[in-house]
A and B are shown apart, each in its own frame.
Chain A
Amino acid sequence: MSQTIANPPVVRLGTDYIGKPTSRVDGTAKVTGAAKYAAEYNVPNLLYGVVVCSHITKGRITKIHAADVLAVPGVVQVFSHENVPSLAWFDHNYKDDVAPGGSPFRPLHEPEIRFNMQPVALVVADTFELARYAASILEIEYEVEPHETDLEKKRDDGYEPGRGKSGWMPPPPPRGNPNQAYRKAPHQHEAEYIHLAQHHNPMEMFATTVEWLGDGQKLNIFDKTQGAYNVQQYITKIFGLSKEEARVITKYTGGGFGSGLRPQYQAFMAVLAALELKQSVRVSLTRQQMFSFGHRPHTLQYVKLAADDNGTLQALHHSALAETSQFEDFTENVVNWSGMLYQCENVKLKYQLAKADVFSPLDMRAPGAATGSYALEVAMDELAYKAGIDPLQFRLLNYADRDQNADKPFSSKKLRECYHQGAAKFGWDKRNPKPRSMRKNGKLVGYGMATGVWDATQKKAAAKACFTADGRLTVSSASNDIGTGTYTIMTQIAAQTLGLPLEAVTFVLGDTNLPEAPVQGGSWTAASVGSAVEAVCQDLGKSLLKLAQKMDDSPLKGVDFEDVQFVNGLIRRNDDIQQSVVIRDVLQANGEKELTAESGAAPDMMKQMGYSMHAHNAVFVEVQVDEELGTLHVTRVVNAVAAGRILNPKTARSQVLGSIVWGIGMALMEETIMDHGFGRFMNHNLAEYHIPVMADIHDLQVVFVEEEDEIVNPLGVKGIGEVGLLGVAAAISNAAFHATGKRVRDLPVLINKLM
């Protein structure tokens, strides 16, 4: 079966896919409507549950008039704290993988109300319409207590959080003498920067379909989540189920942005109802309820910066006070980035929380960094003006070649190239620094820029590969694709590693029957799952080589794995590429039907410990302001990103484009406004919580700066889900100042604040 290729293919590496623009492998499923999301598994004998939420913010339930509702024909049950069976008792059973410190909220656990829109009952009926109607007439009586939901009233109640969630770092201790350095410096700036709560609002609303498989077999849980394993461990611990009894499946996720990192209450409720009723149940949340389980926290930030006459930063103070719930310490890294983005000898960072009667905040795209970089980067712009230095030049003057927080070199950092390439593409040199100096078509024009930094993280992940005699490779890992392109990049990595055509490779994800992968978040999926996929394909390749060497007249006899390459469907010798074996013949020649490998990857701590590993970006923005009409448009954005190796420039560009759109929303539209009298978010729908529409989006351009990094992981990828958002809101704010001469320090930059 072995053969010598007389005419080697002209394209030497026809199966090299990494780094090439590749259309999504799940594209056809998505454009034809075939892709199934959590609420779309129409299993037989399905019951529908609708959640009832509290109208009050604090107090306790005194009576639930369930009997009236149960009298409606077709209503099956009303679940509340009054009839929930005995479940796990200890807090740790309710802690998920990414839970913050504190005591997790337990749905339907007790009569106490801790936040507005707290889920208090689940009404289950034969049809969705009936459940919705029954939920609307369920009368609940409450005893109301006074509440406080306003962070502004908690300014003096800040405290340093204790142990936070995984990945949270308390700010480093102060360095130098920041107070004295600030006082002595000729150019000073200090100001407060504010933003209210923001909500993720993925287009798909949270939903869980639980398929009841019968006693002893239990449940298939089709859930909207960013981590199937995280939901499984949460459900199994609370309900005392084995992993076999609670299979969690999530093949397609209609957006996450952090909202699906923690298991949400509809999953708990659907499982509860299915177990109690011994029947399949679906629970979908409403858009209003999408505002009931976590948000980017309302945060107050104070920045003090000082520079000398040369434009060298002399002092940097950055403090933040963020809201959290009464029961958990939700933490994010808001201020730490300020200690590493610029070279500065005198730095003081502070991060505090204050408790309010709200639900625990939740990681939302680039948590902490999106917020922190907004405040820091607007303050940098303000100081640049005071010192009379171009904002880009000011950043270049204070460029950090070393992470001063960790006192380590960067594994790689091409931020300088981001500045240069981004500025060139944008035409920053055409900027007249004077505010209100540039006009076009009767409108004020403003140019602004900003920058950002995000962690390059790798987590432990496992994967399985199975090659069959028909030449097909299936690789699997219980990762997720929330729109990030996981299906596609993993297919590319697997195909290239084993030299197979893309069409011969299938990547399977989102199922706890597959090898474990971390929740999809933190921009770590490409690095973590990608490394596992590469490793398992290499292991499979080693087995394939051994089998190939057993073939009659094999030209590969006696060579090591390192001495061959998997290319164009062949295993061939490095020293003579004409000596090769056709991969799909290997199993047949050995009489094997399939060959499998299971493996994984984890960060190489020894290699990484000496380095600070981060992705960076630089954003340049043009806005046009019509002062008579009172409109502000973001007419042009260039976002230059250095994030290591880009696996798929097509899908990666889309992620960064999406980040820019998020930045435009954050800068100009997004705020969830609470009526503190009621303690309730008032604009909890998509007509009043504004996100950008197509008419808001104009010329957006993405630049990927080449960056090689052998430290972060074998693939050299840093991840791009978050970094693209950084600096966007600040750059827009800075451009708005340049256009109008008015500085707005509370997001969003609404036109009434500019006029």
Chain B
Amino acid sequence: MLVMQIAQTVLAVAVAPLLTGMVRKVKARLQYRTGPSVFQPYRDLSRLFTKETVVAHNASWLFCAAPTFVFAATWVAAAQVPTISFDVALSPAAELIALFGILTSARFALALAGLDIGTSFGGIGSSREVMIASIAEPAILMLIFVLALVAGSTRLTDIAFFVASPSVGLRISLLLAFVGLAMIAIAESGRIPVDNPATHLELTMVHEAMVLEYSGRHLALIELAAALKLLFYVSLISAVFVPWGIAPSGGTFVQYIIAMTLYLFKLAVAAATLAFFEISIAKMRVFRVPHFIGAALMLVLLAALLRLVSQSF
């Protein structure tokens, strides 16, 4: 039990940069560029870890502590998602609301860190981040409500197990929830069209503006946390909507190998889809983002409504 939990915890942090690398690679290929190798994020991280860290004169302890906390919290959340095995020893400690709560804690710390130096870029990033988060939160809660209505539980392993069972079939509420969650994931992990992770020096940036003052090992931890957050959402979507292949608890070695292969395949598909979506859409104005997330909220509300009306949706 505990072994698989530790394995999935380590796996999360090990493949997170790979996912980011795959997204970048596919994106580059779609734009007729060669692009760096899919392992480039690992090289970037090791480079950042070996550089010295530059901190502003007036930075407080909060500024230096935030990266570690943000990374740790995101890691804890990402480790709770069943990726290759339903054996998640910690799952009784944190069902979905708590899982998103941990991510909210991480965001709270990062938004504060953005304000610590007292620069205008930090402020702009923090204020926009909390705005986007506050609109996404009701959509997330309704999403959890829909999943609880479908699966009868808000524990992630239960939901995944339920969807994997043959009794589910095609459910329109699950389709709506899927679209809603995909939109939430894009907004929350700061991808185009809500935010652009590849940009600096642009007034529309959100996450990158918050972390502008960071360098060296601090920046490495924050980049890794961002990669983990993307991985969290991709794993969440694959666990909730395509849980097939995840090894049952107490599975055999072969099952784990299959699960691992399938998981990497799912990540590749998700990376390709995300990259395709990102190159075919333009970045939104900040004040269009509420519409985008509002639409996600409407979709999950519709799913909840349908599900409340009849069990067959």
A and B are partners in one complex rather than unrelated chains: no
Enumerate chain B interface residues (CB-CB to A < 8 A): none
Enumerate chain A interface residues (CB-CB to B < 8 A): none
